[in-house]
Amino acid sequence: MAVLLAASGCTPSDEDDAFRPGSADVGDPYVPGYGNGGYDVAHYALDVRYDPATDRLTGRAVLTATATQGLSRFNLDLAGLDIDRVTVDGATAKHRRTGNELVVEPARGVPRGARFTVEVAYAGVPAPVTDGPLGSGGFLHTDDGAIALGQPDSAATWFPVNDHPSDKATYDIAVSVPDGLAALSNGVPGPKRSDGGWTTWRWSERSPMASYLTTLVIGDYRVTTGTHEGRPIVTAVPSGEPPNGPAATSLARTGEIVDFLAGRFGPYPFEAYGGVAVADDRIGYALETQSRPVYGPGFFADGRPNLNVVAHELAHQWFGDSVSLSRWSDIWLNEGFATYAEWLWEEHDGGQSVQRAFEARYATTDWTRPSVDPGREAMFGSAVYLRGALAVHALRRTVGDDAFFRILRQWTTERRDRNGTTADLVALAERISGRQLRSLMDAWLTGGSAPALP
C-alpha cells in the first residue's frame, strides 16, 4: 500500500512511516505461509557447508533488502534447522521460530525505504519436502551427497529466504563439501579452493532469480566445463554413468538447443548455461533451476537421449526464470510455453510438426480442467502443460507467425528479470497484433468445452 501511495504522488502520512510487523506470507493460496511482506530482497550471499557423513549443514546467509514499509519486525521462511544468531545491520536481533517462519525483531525499527542487511547463522540436519505437488523435493540426502530441489517450495529447507517468485534476487553461493565431491549450483562458476579436507565451490547468479530456481547438487559427478557464445557452460552427470550415456549425450546438446530457442524467443537471458543429471530415483521430474536445469533419472531410463526434456527446461530459462510468475495460479505461463518449445524443437529436429502435435492434443484434451488457476494439486497437471501449449498455438494461428513471434520476443524483452501475469500477456498480445484476444484466450485457457479451431 505504501508503494501505491507513493506512486500516486501522495505525501506519506505518519502512519506510513510508523514501524509495524511485516506480513508473514504474500497471500498466495498455492503456497500458504510462503513469502513475506514488508521488504524486498536484492541479494543473497549464502555460505554453506555440508557433510554427507553426518547429513549436517552449517550455513551463513547475508540478505541485502529494502524495507517497503517501516518494519518493527519481519519474517523469513526457514523449514527446520537451528538458529545460532541473527543480526540486522550488524546489531544482534531477537528472533523466534513459528512453524516454517523465522521472525526477526531488529534492535531498532527499519525505516521505510531503507536498505538493510540481515545475517543469519544456522545449522542442522536439513529435511526434505514430502507433501509437495511434485513429490519429493526440498533437501534430500542421497547416497553420495545431497540434492536441494523442488517447486514450488524447496529453498526454505536450506536457507532463510523470502520464498516466493514475486521477490527475485541475485545470489552468491559458496558450498563447502569434503574433497572429491562436486557441489553444483546456479550461475557462473567462481574459483574453487581446498583447505583441510574441504573444497569450496563458488557460484554466482547475477540475474534476479526466483527462490525455487535455486539448487544444490552435491555428490560424485563428472563435471564438464566449457564456454558457449562466450559464456561458461557447466554440465554434470553422475560419475557412475558412461561419458556417452543418454544423459551425457543429451546435456551435451544444451548449447545447440539454447541457440535454436534463442532464434524463436530472443537472446538467452543469463550469463551461464548448463545442466545436471542426477541418479536419485526420488527426483521424478526435471526442474528449470536457473541457468542449470536438473534432470531426474527417469528421462533417460530407456537408454536413449531425450532432447525434448532438454528443450523444455531450457525454454523455461525465458518462460519462468527470466520472466517469472507473480502468483502460482498462472503456472501455465511457464509450462504452456515450455511444452510448446518441445513441439518447436521436435519439428526442427525432424519429428512431427507443431500443427500435428496441436491436432493430436486437441483431440484428447479434457476441457473441463482449466489452465489458469488449476488448483495447487493440479499445478503440474495436463491442463497446465498441454492445454496451455494448445492455447499458445491457438494464439499463433489467430495472429499469424509474424505477430506471434514478435509477441514472444517483446514479452521476454520487456519483462526480462521481472514478473508477469496472464492478463499482462494477453494485453501485450492485443497491443502487438491490434486484435481483441481476451475471449479467444479465455476459451482456450479456461472454457469448459472444446473451442473452435482457429
Q: Summarize as ranges the residues that interact with Zn ion (CB under 5 A).
A: 335, 338
What DSSP letter does each residue of 27-54 carry, written as one string? --TTSTT-S-SSEEEEEEEEEEEEETTT
* Least gap, CB of 384 to Zn ion (angstroms): 9
CB of 325 to Zn ion, least distance (A): 12
- Closer CB to Zn ion, 280 or 335, in the complex: 335
61 versus 445: smaller Cβ distance to Zn ion: 445
The β-bridge relationship of strands 198-209 and 169-178 is antiparallel
Shortest Å, Cβ 30 to Zn ion: 16
Facing residues of 324 across strands? Answer: 419
Contact 209, 169 (CB under 8 A): yes
- Please state the closest distance from residue 380 (CB atom) to Zn ion, in A: 8
Nearest to 293 by CA among 283, 301, 302, 303: 283
Q: Is the CB of 25 or the CB of 335 nearer to Zn ion?
A: 335
Smallest gap from residue 318 Cβ to Zn ion (A): 12
Q: Which is nearer to Zn ion, 36 or 289 (CB)?
A: 289
Nearer to Zn ion, 88 or 251 (CB): 251
How far, CA to CA in Å, does 347 sit from each of 5, 307, 358?
A: 50, 12, 12
The residue nearest Zn ion at its CB is 338
- Of 369, 363, 368, 391, which Cα lies nearest the Cα of 381? 369
Closest CA to 166 of 35, 336, 71, 321: 35
DSSP string covering 295-317: E-GGGGTTSS--HHHHHHHHHTT
- Return d(Cα 193, Cα 45) in angstroms, integer: 18
Specify the residue, 25 or 288, whose C-beta has the smaller distance to Zn ion.
Answer: 288
**Shortest approach of Zn ion to residue 265 CB, angstroms?**
15
Strands (E), 150-299: 169-178, 182-184, 188-189, 193-195, 198-209, 216-219, 221-228, 231-238, 273-277, 286-287, 294-295
Place of cell 496451455: 388
CB of 58: closest distance to Zn ion in angstroms? 33
The terminus-to-terminus CA distance of the chain in angstroms comes to 42
> Which of these, 384, 375, 388, 381, lies nearest to 441 by C-alpha position?
388
Shorter beta-carbon distance to Zn ion: residue 257 or 338: 338
Q: Which is nearer to Zn ion, 252 or 338 (CB)?
A: 338
Least distance from Zn ion to the Cβ atom of residue 368, Å: 23
